[in-house]
Amino acid sequence: MEKSVAEASYFLPPYDARACAAATETTKGVVQSTQATLLPKKKFSFSSRKKKEKAKEVEGGEREKEVGEVERDVERAKANARGDSAAAASAAAKLAALTAAADDGPGLRDLTGETCVVTASELREANGTGAGDYVLVNLTDVTVFILGAVRALRCHNLKNVRVYGGPVEGSVHAQGLDGCHLEIATRQMRIHDARNGTAFYLRTKSRPIIEHSTGVGFAPFTFSYDGSEDALARAGMEPDPGTWREVDDFGWIKQQQSPNWRIIPEEERVAPPPAP
């Protein structure tokens, strides 16, 4: 795991790298704690070699019994440790991602029942020259229009939120979405813990990834605003490669279609509102 995280840090965004490192350290701690608890300690003795040889046969049977019991304990502990480490790693990853999202960069936080329009000039003022990161955290019943390019977009803890914008020149990390609607163009889409009919209308350069999500739908990106075609072209997202429909579910390892996501039928798709 440590080797994989080290290799992945070359291309992962900083917050993803921190989350992976935290999950690895948590798992490592669980393994070390389990080993310290279950592995038998070596017995220290000043006995001579002759005494050891005489006692060997007597101790052999007891030792064999002890080893058998320890092996059974280890197997039971492995099953428990797998569950504990997975839960701990997941919690650590979520905590690291949420902390990074809350602390890093400009964005919208802790809003309810509002409509927010973020213009290209506001993005430039917030990030200086060039596209920067933008965050949406702890929003409820909010509509957000992002009318300009950003480098990365992080969406965390959103309920009944509608987001229209693009392009995102790097990645979108969405976590904790409940009944939301996101229409965005991005190079990479990472989704964790989305539920209750959350819909993603996407244009992506790579396959969207979902994890710990259920009841989510996917459709093609159709939102536009003044200058959006030029922005998409500059970001290398013209034309649409159609990868929005090639979703990878990290929680579903079978070859059959994952039940956690679907392609939204054309008759159910919702047209985006006109840009302000």
- What does the pLDDT look like over 65-90, one tens digit per residue? 555 555 565 555 555 555 555 555 55
- Indicate the residue type of 123: L
* Other residues' Cβ atoms within 10 Å of the Cβ of residue 184: 24
Smallest CA-to-CA distance from 176 within 204, 145, 135, 147 is with: 135
Reduced to 3 states, what is the DSSP secondary structure of residue 226? coil
Distance CA 34, CA 11 (A): 33
pLDDT tens-digit profile, the chain (276 residues): 887 887 776 567 777 777 888 888 888 888 888 888 888 766 655 555 555 555 555 555 555 555 555 556 555 555 555 555 555 555 555 545 544 544 557 899 999 999 999 998 888 876 655 557 899 999 999 999 999 899 999 999 999 999 999 899 999 999 999 999 999 999 999 999 999 999 999 999 999 999 999 999 999 999 999 989 999 998 888 888 899 999 999 888 777 889 999 999 999 999 999 998
Smallest CA-to-CA distance from 173 within 155, 199, 148 is with: 155
Distance CA 3, CA 158 (A): 33
Reduced to 3 states, what is the DSSP secondary structure of residue 11? coil
C-alpha distances out from residue 63 to 39, 42, 97, Å: 14, 12, 48
* DSSP-H helix ranges across 104-226: 120-127
Smallest CA-to-CA distance from 161 within 107, 119, 199 is with: 199
Give 98-128 pLDDT, tens digit per residue.
445 445 578 999 999 999 999 988 888 766 5
* DSSP-H helix ranges across the chain: 2-8, 14-38, 49-103, 120-127, 228-234
Give 16-38 pLDDT, tens digit per residue.
777 888 888 888 888 888 888 88
Q: For the whole prediction, is pTM greater than 0.85?
A: no
